[in-house]
Amino acid sequence: MEKQTAGRDNLGEFAPQFAALNDDVLFGEVWAREEQLSAHDRSLITCSSLLTQGAPQLEAHMNIAKKNGVTKEEMVELITHLAFYTGWPKAWTAFNLAKEIFGD
């Protein structure tokens, strides 16, 4: 996985400790534990969590998921499955994002 700099890029001057934790700990250490859980699987789990929360970070993580090898079919299945647990409106929103990111 490529070095994450989103924390420093967006919040480095405003919230430097949070930015460092985001880039160095969350992405630098936790996401790097691929022997325990692959980046592909972490992406599926993260997208699932963000979808259920209706979090705006879902779009960025769908892009990361695609880079980590998650397929359109897997993302469609993930959203379809979670629609029944998290709600139809969140699923519609996620499908619109997925269409943009994964294509038709």
| Amino acid occupying residue 6 | A
> In the predicted model, what is the mean pLDDT of residues 20-28?
94
Is domain 38-102 annotated with CATH 3.30.70.141?
A: no
What are the Cα distances from residue 94, in Å, to 67, 73, 75, 89, 102? 18, 14, 9, 9, 12
Domain ranges of the chain: 1-32, 38-102
Does the pLDDT at position 101 exceed 90? Answer: yes
Q: What pLDDT does residue 1 have?
A: 62
Does the pLDDT at position 59 exceed 80? Answer: yes
The closest of 36, 62, 34, 37 to 49, measured between CA atoms, is: 62
pLDDT, tens digit, 9 for 90 and up, residues 69-84: 999 999 999 999 999 9
Does the pLDDT at position 86 exceed 90? Answer: yes
